[in-house]
Amino acid sequence: MSIENYRVYLSEMKLLQKIACRKIAQEAKRVKRRKHLPQLNSLQSVGVIGTADNLPEYKYIVNYFKQKKIEVDAIFFGETAIEGIKSIGKKGLTWLKLPKKQEIQSFADKEFDILFNFIGTSNLKTEYLHKISKAKFKVGFSESDNNDYDLNIDDKKNKKLIYLIEQAFFYIKKLNNQD
C-alpha cells in the first residue's frame, strides 16, 4: 500500500469513527433511565461489559455475584464469538463497527442496579452499549474527563478488574455513608 493510499485509508477510518460517535450520541439522547445510587446490601442485578482479553477475570466477577445471589448478566466483545458466553464477534457488528441492535437490545433494556464497564471510552463498541443501557447506576474506567459514568474509577497504577470493582464498592459505600 502506498503512502497516499494509506493516508486516504486513515482519513476514511476517521470519518467512519466520527459517524459512529454521532450515532452513539444520538441514540444515547433517546435513552430514558432512572439514575439511582445503589445500596450494596440490596443489589438485585448487575451488568458487566467486557472483552475476551480479560475473560478469566470477568468469569471470576460473574461467579462472585452469582454466589451472592445477585442476578448477573455479562456481555463480551472479541474477534470471534465465545462459545457458551454471550459475546459479540465481528459478525455481530455493523459497518460502523458498532454492535448490531438485535445483538445487544435485551441487555441494554435491562435496568441493572449497577452496570460495570471497565473497558474505557476509547472502545466504541463498549461505549455504545454503555451509553444506551438503562442501568440505574453506571460505573466505568476512563482516563478522560469527558465521560458520562455515574462513578468513574481512574487508577493509573492498578487496572486489574477485581481491584477496580473493589474500589467502586468502596466509593459507593462512602457515597451512601455506609463506612
Work out the burial of residue 86: count CB atoms within 10 Å of its CB; fewer than 13 is exposed, 13-18 middle, 19 or more buried.
Answer: middle
| Secondary structure of residue 47 in the 3-state scheme | strand
Work out the burial of residue 156: count CB atoms within 10 Å of its CB; fewer than 13 is exposed, 13-18 middle, 19 or more buried.
Answer: exposed
The residue with cell 486489574 is: 160
- Whether the per-residue pLDDT at 7 is higher than 60: the answer is no
The band of 62, judged by pLDDT with boundaries at 50, 70 and 90, is confident
pLDDT of residue 113: 94
pLDDT of residue 110: 94
Overall pTM surpassing 0.85 (yes/no): no
Work out the burial of residue 41: count CB atoms within 10 Å of its CB; fewer than 13 is exposed, 13-18 middle, 19 or more buried.
Answer: exposed
At residue 119, what are phi and psi to the nearest 5 degrees?
-90, -30
Distances (CA, A) of 102 to 11, 58, 108, 136: 30, 23, 10, 22
The residue with cell 462459545 is: 83
pLDDT of residue 2: 57
In the predicted model, what is the mean pLDDT of the chain? 81
Q: Which of these, 113, 109, 131, lies nearest to 36 by C-alpha position? A: 113
Q: How open is the CA angle 41-45-46, to the nearest 5 degrees?
A: 100
Write the pLDDT tens digit of every residue in 83-124.
667 888 888 888 888 898 888 889 999 999 999 887 755 678
Question: Does residue 161 contact residue 58 with C-beta atoms inside 8 Å?
Answer: yes
Distance of CA 59 to the CA centre of its chain: 15
Half-sphere exposure of 119 (CA within 13 A, CB side): 25
Q: Which of these, 153, 93, 104, 154, lies nearest to 133 by C-alpha position? A: 104
- Whether the per-residue pLDDT at 64 is higher than 80: the answer is yes
8-state DSSP, 177? T
Question: Does residue 115 contact residue 133 with C-beta atoms inside 8 Å?
Answer: yes
pLDDT of residue 108: 92
* Domains of the chain by start residue, with CATH: 3-175 (3.40.50)
